[in-house]
Structure 1
Amino acid sequence: MKNTISQTVEVNQVNESKIGQVDFENLDFGKIFTDHMFVCDYKNGSWQTPKIIPYGPLTMEPSARVFHYGQAVFEGMKAYKDDNGDTFLFRPDENFKRINKSSERLAIPEFPEEYFFDGLNTLLKLDNAWIKSGSGNSLYIRPFVIATQASVSASEADEYKFLIICSPAQSYYSGDVSVLVAEKFSRSASGGFGYAKAAGNYAGQFYPTKLAKEQGYQQVIWTDSNTHEYMEEAGTMNVFFRINDTLLTAPVSDRILDGITRKSLISIAEKEGYKVDVRPVKVSEIVAAAKDGSLKEVFGAGTAAVVSPVKSFGYKGEHYEIEKQENSYASYFKKVLMDIQYNKVEDPFGWRYKV
């Protein structure tokens, strides 16, 4: 293997790429990974020399605290390649800030900005062939941190591992979805860590979502934990509602993730003159709007799918269909955002980051 140093990152390259074994026309999301991964250990009170090594299994003690107390946070981001072969990230500074915000809430030490960006740039240059041009093609990037200290005592760890792994992805579209509005279960609670991208937040969603699927729905729209009167998120995404020509979405809080796609869509809508109302959204007003025909659209917003339209929802045993709009906000905002990400248009917001 070839060993080099790139600024702060020690690089250990594979002898031969496995890219030739991959069918890029038939990718299952998140199941194929690139040749390399970024790894950095925290021990003795500081982050050690970061490394890029061949992608492969980790060796850990069964007593590693991540397995027992769930100290784990992550991010989701993408790299895009334009028609000229140049590679771009989308607002990576926001991902960096958010993973440290998530880490702080779970008593995980802050990761250095220099290590994050130097490691990310070096990793993407090494595995650049895995990023394919063409709208919808991308490289999904998963930075994450886990507690690795071998101990089952119930307190925060003093050893951690920060990693970045990458997975080639195609256009993510599973069709318009039907969702069930939660009446009993909650994704998060006030004073908790719903705003953090913590692994446990997602684990807690699987059982209510399983129950929803048994009723014929694909996802759950989560409601507030106190009264279940307010819409908060849809599945693993932020959620938007269009009533007539007004776009509604809940404000971020300690229960709701500060989604990067969410805030980007709001900025695009406001810049282009759409009416945007960021406020608590009552379940009752959405049900009333569905009944009187003023509910024109519901859609989720997140990194993987960008925008995911909702075709119907269930609540208290009733089912409500949403009439498909010929010129939907969802499809328009998705196109505008993706054109920026793929360097097809000018970026008036300064969101693109060239690798």
Structure 2
Amino acid sequence: MPVQVEKSISHEKKSKTPDQQLVFGRTFTDHMFVADYTAGYGWHDFRIQPYQPLVLEPSAIVFHYGQTVFEGLKAYKSPTGKVRLFRPRLNFERMNESCSRMSMPEIDPDQMLESLMELLQLEKDWIPTAPGTSLYIRPFMIATEAYLGVAPSQKYQFMIILSPVGSYYKEGIAPVKILVENQYVRAVAGGTGTAKTAGNYAASLKAQETAAAEGYAQVMWLDGVERKYIEEVGSMNVFFKIDGKVYTPALNGSILDGITRRSIVDILRYWEIPVIEKRISMEEIRQAHRTGLLEEAWGTGTAAVISPIGEFKWQNELFYVNNGQTGELSARLYDTLTGIQTGELPDPFGWTIEF
């Protein structure tokens, strides 16, 4: 059945930041979507309302026991002015996987996608059109029950907020420097590494501070048991082009199943470029670098899309990739994926929704 979404329209419109001045995650649109959940009743009171502060009890479970999950996707304007979404249902399906791990109620992906499209119709004038810009979409869920007890909440709110953004990295598509993390770990199998939950990101900040102090844009995480197998780079999946083949760490219960990761694997196989998903050790990367076989490396994620890697530092050894320049394959993947997302290139996979 169609979702009934009540609308409360803001009469005070915000001024829009020029596309060329947009940074990531600092500007928000006029409206937001909200739905409530009550145990025994389910999801109810679907509404679009003016973007505004939340009112929560200080004892709300989210503040004390961390029951919260989120997603990230983007909207684009097509050359004909229509709104475009890239594989959006996968985000809501993945949110349900995060909810399951965090003992939170699942959502109906079709209902929430329909609600998102209603919100975007209202806010479509906020979608920037300059190259490298988009409207970032942040669906998230928090536990709202007022209760200081270690148990799943009986009440939740699901929300969607929108933010016009520029490039995630100020360098844009330029290669970034990565510090391989040896002290801290991101996740282990059986933990919450496959869930997009806030605690995973809070736990990464200490290592990120260390990397930034040394002039590095991100950290590369190794596995939490043996401390030698590559998992993710920052909050992105990671790929390596070695001797003509592309390698990426296999999903192992502690690596996020990235939607951009899936898309890159599909594009490479469509191009008949060999893609191997396996455990990859840093020692293998060191040997590939020393023998001249490490040709390219890049991270993938919704925010940055493709982030080429120009340098690694591991155990006080520097590995320069492609002389610190963006590789041919990295650039081709970026142009292809963003072209499909914006409608500037054909979509042979049927990934996009336009309305």
Structure 2-normalised TM-score?
0.95
Separation (CA, whole Å) in 1 of partners of 2:16 and 2:335: 32
Secondary structure in 2 matching 1:150: coil
Q: Contact conserved, 1:39 with 1:163, CA < 8 A, in 2? A: yes
Matched, 1:29 2:20: no
Residue 113 of structure 2 corresponds to: 117
Superposition map of 1:64-75 within 5 A: 64-75=60-71
Superposition map of 1:319-330 within 5 A: 319-324=318-323, 328-330=328-330
Residue 177 of structure 1 corresponds to: 176
The one-letter code sitting in structure 1 at the alignment partner of 2:36 is D
Residue 13 of structure 2 corresponds to: 17
Measure how far apart 1:134 and its partner are: 3.9
Superposition map of 1:9-158 within 5 A: 9-18=5-14, 20-45=15-40, 46-158=42-154
Secondary structure in 2 matching 1:353: strand
Measure how far apart 1:323 and its partner are: 2.3
Separation (CA, whole Å) in 1 of partners of 2:196 and 2:332: 28
Q: Contact conserved, 1:8 with 1:118, CA < 8 A, in 2? A: no
- After superposition, the Cα gap between the structure-2 partners of 1:16 and 1:214, relative to the gap in structure 1 and judged at 3 Å, is closer
- After superposition, the Cα gap between the structure-2 partners of 1:114 and 1:264, relative to the gap in structure 1 and judged at 3 Å, is closer
- Aligned-pair identity in percent equals 42
Q: Deviations over 1:87-128 (max 9, x none)?
A: 110000110100111011000001123430221011000001
Q: Contact conserved, 2:33 with 2:46, CA < 8 A, in 1? A: yes
Secondary structure in 2 matching 1:41: strand
The one-letter code sitting in structure 1 at the alignment partner of 2:315 is K
Measure how far apart 1:291 and its partner are: 1.4
Matched, 1:167 2:166: no
Separation (CA, whole Å) in 2 of partners of 1:13 and 1:166: 15
Measure how far apart 1:27 and its partner are: 1.3
Measure how far apart 1:306 and its partner are: 0.4
Q: Deviations over 1:254-276 (max 9, x none)?
A: 10000000110010000011111
Separation (CA, whole Å) in 2 of partners of 1:236 and 1:9: 33
Measure how far apart 1:209 and its partner are: 1.3
Q: Contact conserved, 2:75 with 2:86, CA < 8 A, in 1? A: yes
Q: Contact conserved, 1:78 with 1:141, CA < 8 A, in 2? A: yes
Matched, 1:275 2:274: yes
Secondary structure in 2 matching 1:211: helix
Residue 302 of structure 1 corresponds to: 301
Residue 3 of structure 1 corresponds to: none
- Compute the RMSD of aligned alpha carbons: 1.4
Separation (CA, whole Å) in 1 of partners of 2:326 and 2:71: 34
Matched, 1:227 2:226: yes
Separation (CA, whole Å) in 1 of partners of 2:326 and 2:25: 32
Q: Contact conserved, 2:23 with 2:168, CA < 8 A, in 1? A: no
Secondary structure in 2 matching 1:25: helix
Residue 354 of structure 2 corresponds to: 354
Measure how far apart 1:292 and its partner are: 1.6
The one-letter code sitting in structure 1 at the alignment partner of 2:51 is Y
Measure how far apart 1:253 and its partner are: 2.4
Equivalenced residues, count: 349
Structure 2 stretches lacking a partner, 5+ long: none
Q: Contact conserved, 1:9 with 1:118, CA < 8 A, in 2? A: no
Secondary structure in 2 matching 1:49: strand
The one-letter code sitting in structure 1 at the alignment partner of 2:165 is A
The one-letter code sitting in structure 1 at the alignment partner of 2:31 is H
Separation (CA, whole Å) in 1 of partners of 2:168 and 2:63: 31
Measure how far apart 1:321 and its partner are: 1.4
Structure 1 stretches lacking a partner, 5+ long: 1-5
Measure how far apart 1:7 and its partner are: 4.3
The one-letter code sitting in structure 1 at the alignment partner of 2:135 is L
Residue 251 of structure 1 corresponds to: 250
Measure how far apart 1:172 and its partner are: 3.7
Separation (CA, whole Å) in 2 of partners of 1:298 and 1:107: 36
Secondary structure in 1 matching 2:266: helix
Measure how far apart 1:63 and its partner are: 0.6
Residue 203 of structure 2 corresponds to: 204
Secondary structure in 1 matching 2:20: coil
